[in-house]
Structure 1
Amino acid sequence: MMRSLYLLLFSFSFSLLYSQSTLTVTRSDNQKPIKGAAVSCNGRVLGRTNDQGIVTFKTKCPKVDVEIDNYIGDEVVVDKVMELALDRDNIKSSQIEGVTLSNESDPRALAIIDQTFRRFTENSPTALDSYSYKSYEKMSFDVDEDSIQDYTRFFDARKDSLSRATNRLLPKKEKDKKDSIEGEQMMSVAKTSKLFLWERAMEFLYSKKYGEKVNILDNRISGLKNPVYEMLALRSNRDKIPREILPENKSLYRYFLTDSIEIEGRMNYVIRFRQVDYKVPVNRRKYNGYLYIDKDSYAIKKIESNSKVKSDGTITSVWIPINDKWFLKTENLKIKMGVSEFETVQKKPNETAEEKKARLDQVKKFGNYAYMKADYFDFKTPVELKASQFSGYTMSVENTDGSLLNKYRTDSLSAREKLTYVKIDSLGKKYTLDRKVQVLTALLRAKFTVGMVDISPLQTKYNRYEGFRLGAGFKLNEKFNKYISPDVYLAYGFKDRGFKYGAGVDVRT
């Protein structure tokens, strides 16, 4: 009896941890279902599609691979309901070059897109009198997840080869030697940990009477003692009209109504879209993504947006209805951020063109990616809010040491992520990453902060009267006062040889 009870409890717990997902796989050319497509994660097959092209499975993986003979395999971000169209793999290259995609959008799809845009504000949470919710976001910079094992093998072999090299060329300058050592250590770190990791938990408050307030409940960045506040202001599709439905972007995409599908008891239009600037499939990917539009409200349920080239990235956003308004529930992002290149053949003096080409062909490349996963939860509406909760700036920071993050995590840290804090933090102290990042961000935003003063140097302009104008601005920040922020500026015109100055004050009510 007790054993049966334990099994029942275990099964119930498992179902909570790993919710069931349903995937429909079809042919991209005629939308017919594909039978026998294997769905897998990390090489383990989770299931195969049936006669209707449907497979149900449970997994903790953020994305799964879909493969079947005679079709180009693809990947899809895991959700409760998904659709994926595969392209055939048995077309000769000469035939591929002749494939031209339709250059006209489906009028039915355009009508749905127009209705979705017109009703976006009506469906937005800001149409409510008040609400509150929280979020947990995890952002990182890493080698392509699918190439980590290959990267580890390559680095170990490279390290062994360099240790046995007798004529290895080392930088002559001391600074170059130091940079080389730092680079080697960062390469070594990438074997077992990410290169960058940032977690943050936030609280969002909204009132038609008082406005919006965002509280940073806690955050932590690997390798940095202090957060990069410019990054705290980054926003996604939350409360923004997605670019895929904006009227001014309609000429950038072609839309095709392909299906209707039920998601969580509600019927949705499924619209495929692609960028208009390519007629021939790139890497056999014919469409950039999918829009799922709720039939009753014309609200966006889900967007899957992919790059033209499969390896360049993907973004998925999912919304849920609460009190007849649609809140962003989850977001997943993977964007390619360049390539790490490693020469495997040493450059020869006076090498010929053929030797150079042969050397460059042997260069080993690994893609670097930015990853983001965001979960929004604890939705409340209506909610009683006070004016005092909206005092100060629109965004406030309550904690920055990461000690409270465990209260808000919706996803546990992997072993690789845990090691990131240990290894990158140690390198951050050793190579003073905080100081380097502060200088970099100051240059990017053209502003330095010294205590309660924000300094904006090098404000350069040019006009016919003043000629080249050089100036600087000084503004007291929130450390001076939460509500009052005085500022002054001083400038000099090199053509009229005159000084200019001014003063002002910002008052937050």
Structure 2
Amino acid sequence: MLFLFCASLNAQIQLNGIIKDSSTKKPLSFATITLDNGFVSISDVDGKFNFTSIANVSSFEVTYIGYEKRKINIDNTSKFQVVLLSPKIDLLQDVIIINENLANKIIQKAIDNKDKNNPQKKLNSFQFNTYNKLLVSANPDSIVGKIDSVFVTTSLGRAFQKIDSTEYKFKRIIDKQHLFLAEKVSQFQFSNPTLKETVIGSKMAGFNEPIYEFFGFKLQSFSIYDSKYELFETTYKSPIAANSLSEYKFKINDTISINNREVFVIHFKNKIKRKGLEGLLYIDSQNFAIAKAVMRVRGVLNITGIHEFSYYPENDIWFPTKKNFKIIKGKSKEATSILGGRIAFEANSDTNENKQKRSSDFTYLSSETEVYNIEFNSDIKIKKSFISVDVKDNASDKPMTFWDKNRTEILDQRSLKTYEVLDSIAAKNNIEKKIRFGRKIINGYLPFGFFDIDLRHLLSYNNFEGFRFGIGGITNEQFSKKYRIEGYTAYGLKDETFKYNLGFGSRIGKFSNTWIGASFTDDIREIASTTFAIDKRVFKLYDPRPINISTFYNYKTWRTYIETKIIPKTESIWQLSYSEITPLFEYQFDYNGKIFDDFKITSAMVSLQWNPFSDYMQTPNGKLEIEKRFPKFTFQFTKSIPDILENDFDFGKIDFKIDYEKRYLNGQKSTVLAQIGYAFGAIPITHLYNTSPNNLTKDNILQRITIAGKNSFETMFFNEFFSSEFAFLQLKHGFKRVEIFKKVKPQLVMVTRMAWGNLENPERHIGINYKTLNEGYFESGIELNQIYKGFGLSGFYRYGPNQLSRLEDNLAIKLSFILDLGLD
């Protein structure tokens, strides 16, 4: 048995090569390659092919429309085959014209018959199981793996500097194991219109409990029939969308047989975008369904997604049976990392195009999914349908018998070694403990036993308190998963006053992550600053705006609340509070003939964020937003409760916000933020709107240089405008970072902000001067972020109806600092 096993390993051969036009030497994309054992493959968009096959293969045949067929005998001594195809000169031009016209007709037929062929339209329900293997690896045969002597040029000539054994060590490692490996067994259920994945088994090299975020990566679309196709979290127009003929160019490459049915092999390419979606569609000649699809994008990364189908004659349907996804390095002048930095590629060198490739150039990420146990039109009831991926509590505790039963192929020695080595390394270096520590730090907590110290409370500064020192935090899961205690205390050196908070909570729902709790707070807050209670907690090493703020109010607040995610695709906070408010500046509120220096407010509030386009995963540790899609909507309603606990005023506030963000694979990002607020009734200035000003009232422009905020008006002076109703719009576009010098790589961001507002009953507010935003406020600027080690510089200009008479008063120069943790 050992002899036969070793013989089978030696019998495996790897075919690598490229297919070119014999006259022009240009690569031929998606040529059909047929081994003499019947196995069929295709060349990629660069004309290259690479696959492994069992022995007894002595030749392969290459066909391409408009070219002579060619048969190649396999030479085991040659590692790379260059196949040159000769065009049929006399027929080529006619063939191209005919094929383009015919290809368009076939694509139109496929579009017209989408609903008849789409399983999610044709079938009432279906379910199946999948086995998925995700790995990061490299092909050891592609790596030279030699030890190099490194020389440097000196005034005396070339001098030896060191021995470089990097490639040698990498080849030794990759010969024995992969760099990363994860497996997953899932059940997919579809009942029109819901598709849900339930993970019943999970295994990840180096971890007792998997990093569940890996299971949420959207590498490629589930369906090939949707009008939008998603490849590695980037959306493209599908080549069979309703009007795809205007965007894509199609031509027939070949006709082949799949499942004993004739299919057209049609190549498609974006007419306009050079780096757009490109690939092959295999279309059934009888029912015009998709029998196979190859989707490809070339750029900073070369990404390929393959969908394979099998034909079921009893239902006259092609149903997906296999998916493949692969990422390799493309042409990039910058180092590129993906999946949170878990896989990285070095930059290409401009100085030497013929430079030998390094090991990182051969590193790739691969995901393979096999489908089995397919059932059509069975009685399916999907529970918790708003959860896209549900990971069972015991998914990571499956015995080896489970994996032997559900793996579609036996793990090879490299995969088994990967588990052995990575498990050993993780245990020796306490990797899981370090990851837990890192996650806490990233979110602004320092774990200390059963208590997480909140780093936000350690040190801050503002014009009223001066330096503020404090300590605080919250109990963690080591204390309890059902109960929590939180609090802080702080002291301002300038106002010489202690502030503090104490609260507790109890979890009453695991799936919905529902908490009920109460707290008391004695602290200060900026006047007219409305925040959304449901907004995610963001950790900053510094918060630039409060540094320049002088007008605060003190609040003593008793609060009871419920936090829950029970409403599908929402997070919400429902609270009742009683506050004693004391302005810490010269201010009085005139209401019904009575002057208020301080006041009491009893109010109810609901704050809700709705992410309708996002996908969620339920894990043993809670619910995760695995696919963040935009826009996101945030709503908050606050209403005072008259005649309860000596409440002084009757008022309400309605706040609404829309966030939109689009990221590009080349590093650019566009964002839109729109917000409106409406306050009605008797409401003091402490609870109005100030639209986030961030400029000092100084005569000299240099005296006004401060640190820029994220969404604040940099040219608007503090306390310059107040509103009881307002609308705000911010547009940003960030370009990719540009290397000027080795350590100077600024990112250019274009910014425009605008706001309109009004103030009802201005006569009620005594002791503070202000203006209103009836005519609108406008500013635009340029940010040069991360010029050097996170530090940057920006400039903004104020224009429109509220432009000031002096030119320099409309200008604002700001410093910026961005701590890039690679977490976006």
TM-score, scaled relative to structure 2: 0.39
Q: Could you say if the C-alpha distance between residues 388 and 318 of structure 1 is closer, same or farther in structure 2, counting changes exceeding 3 Å?
A: closer
Q: Could you say if the C-alpha distance between residues 500 and 390 of structure 1 is closer, same or farther in structure 2, counting changes exceeding 3 Å?
A: closer
1:230 pairs with 2:213: yes
What's 2:134 paired with?
139
- For residue 196 of structure 1, the aligned residue among 180, 200, 215 is 180
Taking the aligned partners of 2:364 and 2:29, their CA distance within structure 1 comes to 33
Q: Could you say if the C-alpha distance between residues 378 and 53 of structure 1 is closer, same or farther in structure 2, counting changes exceeding 3 Å?
A: farther
What's 1:47 paired with?
59
Contact 1:266 1:294 in 2 (8 A): yes
What's 2:309 paired with?
319
- The superposition leaves residues 233-277 of structure 1 with CA deviations (integer Å, 9 ceiling, x where unpaired) of 234332353433335765653211344333222222221123435
Taking the aligned partners of 1:203 and 1:230, their CA distance within structure 2 comes to 18
What's 2:284 paired with?
294
Taking the aligned partners of 2:169 and 2:527, their CA distance within structure 1 comes to 51
Per the TM alignment, residue 500 of structure 1 is displaced from its structure 2 partner at its CA by 4.9
What's 1:345 paired with?
none
Taking the aligned partners of 1:304 and 1:142, their CA distance within structure 2 comes to 22
**Segment of structure 1 superposing worse, 268-277 or 199-208:** 268-277
- Unaligned 5+ runs, structure 2: 13-18, 22-26, 42-49, 74-78, 88-95, 152-159, 230-237, 330-335, 337-343, 446-451, 453-475, 485-503, 535-561, 569-824
1:15-94 residue pairs with structure 2 within 5 A?
A: 46-49=58-61, 53=69, 67=81, 69=83, 71=84
What's 2:380 paired with?
385
1:480 pairs with 2:476: no
Which structure would you say has the larger Rg? 2
Taking the aligned partners of 2:320 and 2:376, their CA distance within structure 1 comes to 14
What's 2:360 paired with?
366
Q: State the superposition RMSD in angstroms.
A: 5.7
Taking the aligned partners of 2:34 and 2:125, their CA distance within structure 1 comes to 48
What's 2:529 paired with?
497
Taking the aligned partners of 2:382 and 2:32, their CA distance within structure 1 comes to 55
Corresponding letter in the other structure for 1:434:
E
TM-score, scaled relative to structure 1: 0.59
1:213 pairs with 2:196: yes
Q: Could you say if the C-alpha distance between residues 441 and 231 of structure 1 is closer, same or farther in structure 2, counting changes exceeding 3 Å?
A: farther
1:409-448 residue pairs with structure 2 within 5 A?
A: 409-437=407-435
Report which structure shows greater RCO (CA 8 Å, sep ≥6).
1
Q: Could you say if the C-alpha distance between residues 144 and 186 of structure 1 is closer, same or farther in structure 2, counting changes exceeding 3 Å?
A: closer
Corresponding letter in the other structure for 1:415:
Q
Taking the aligned partners of 1:409 and 1:307, their CA distance within structure 2 comes to 30
Taking the aligned partners of 2:432 and 2:204, their CA distance within structure 1 comes to 10
Q: Could you say if the C-alpha distance between residues 31 and 195 of structure 1 is closer, same or farther in structure 2, counting changes exceeding 3 Å?
A: closer
1:233-244 residue pairs with structure 2 within 5 A?
A: 233-235=216-218, 236-240=220-224, 241=226, 242=229, 243-244=238-239
- For residue 326 of structure 2, the aligned residue among 318, 334, 356 is 334
The count of corresponding residues between Structure 1 and Structure 2 is 391
Per the TM alignment, residue 223 of structure 1 is displaced from its structure 2 partner at its CA by 1.4
Per the TM alignment, residue 50 of structure 1 is displaced from its structure 2 partner at its CA by 8.9
What's 2:642 paired with?
none
Taking the aligned partners of 1:37 and 1:68, their CA distance within structure 2 comes to 18
Contact 1:257 1:270 in 2 (8 A): yes
Per the TM alignment, residue 197 of structure 1 is displaced from its structure 2 partner at its CA by 0.4
1:264-275 residue pairs with structure 2 within 5 A?
A: 264-275=259-270
Per the TM alignment, residue 133 of structure 1 is displaced from its structure 2 partner at its CA by 0.6
Per the TM alignment, residue 189 of structure 1 is displaced from its structure 2 partner at its CA by 3.6
Q: Could you say if the C-alpha distance between residues 443 and 50 of structure 1 is closer, same or farther in structure 2, counting changes exceeding 3 Å?
A: same
Q: Secondary structure at the match of 1:426?
A: helix
Per the TM alignment, residue 132 of structure 1 is displaced from its structure 2 partner at its CA by 1.5
Taking the aligned partners of 1:26 and 1:362, their CA distance within structure 2 comes to 22
Per the TM alignment, residue 421 of structure 1 is displaced from its structure 2 partner at its CA by 0.5
Q: Could you say if the C-alpha distance between residues 377 and 42 of structure 1 is closer, same or farther in structure 2, counting changes exceeding 3 Å?
A: closer
Taking the aligned partners of 2:113 and 2:416, their CA distance within structure 1 comes to 43
Per the TM alignment, residue 219 of structure 1 is displaced from its structure 2 partner at its CA by 1.3
Taking the aligned partners of 1:307 and 1:87, their CA distance within structure 2 comes to 28
What's 2:117 paired with?
123
What's 1:4 paired with?
none
Q: Secondary structure at the match of 1:419?
A: helix
What's 1:458 paired with?
none
Q: Secondary structure at the match of 2:202?
A: strand
Per the TM alignment, residue 135 of structure 1 is displaced from its structure 2 partner at its CA by 0.5
Q: Could you say if the C-alpha distance between residues 433 and 292 of structure 1 is closer, same or farther in structure 2, counting changes exceeding 3 Å?
A: same
Taking the aligned partners of 1:446 and 1:106, their CA distance within structure 2 comes to 58
- The superposition leaves residues 320-367 of structure 1 with CA deviations (integer Å, 9 ceiling, x where unpaired) of 23423332111222211566669xxxxxxxxxxxxx969x95784532
Q: Could you say if the C-alpha distance between residues 195 and 113 of structure 1 is closer, same or farther in structure 2, counting changes exceeding 3 Å?
A: same
**Segment of structure 1 superposing worse, 419-428 or 497-506:** 497-506
Per the TM alignment, residue 124 of structure 1 is displaced from its structure 2 partner at its CA by 2.5
Per the TM alignment, residue 400 of structure 1 is displaced from its structure 2 partner at its CA by 1.0
- The superposition leaves residues 6-33 of structure 1 with CA deviations (integer Å, 9 ceiling, x where unpaired) of xxxx9xxx9xxx9xxxxxx997889999
Q: Secondary structure at the match of 1:400?
A: helix
Q: Could you say if the C-alpha distance between residues 308 and 214 of structure 1 is closer, same or farther in structure 2, counting changes exceeding 3 Å?
A: closer
Contact 1:261 1:268 in 2 (8 A): yes
Corresponding letter in the other structure for 2:427:
K
Taking the aligned partners of 2:396 and 2:133, their CA distance within structure 1 comes to 15
Corresponding letter in the other structure for 1:190:
I
Contact 1:204 1:213 in 2 (8 A): yes
Q: Could you say if the C-alpha distance between residues 249 and 431 of structure 1 is closer, same or farther in structure 2, counting changes exceeding 3 Å?
A: farther
Taking the aligned partners of 2:291 and 2:412, their CA distance within structure 1 comes to 29
Per the TM alignment, residue 36 of structure 1 is displaced from its structure 2 partner at its CA by 11
Per the TM alignment, residue 220 of structure 1 is displaced from its structure 2 partner at its CA by 0.8
Per the TM alignment, residue 317 of structure 1 is displaced from its structure 2 partner at its CA by 1.3
Corresponding letter in the other structure for 1:299:
A
Contact 1:341 1:365 in 2 (8 A): no
What's 2:294 paired with?
304
Q: Secondary structure at the match of 1:239?
A: coil
Per the TM alignment, residue 496 of structure 1 is displaced from its structure 2 partner at its CA by 2.6
Bigger proportion of residues as helix: 1
Per the TM alignment, residue 504 of structure 1 is displaced from its structure 2 partner at its CA by 6.1
Q: Could you say if the C-alpha distance between residues 34 and 189 of structure 1 is closer, same or farther in structure 2, counting changes exceeding 3 Å?
A: closer
Contact 1:192 1:419 in 2 (8 A): yes
**Segment of structure 1 superposing worse, 235-244 or 318-327:** 235-244
Bigger proportion of residues as strand: 2
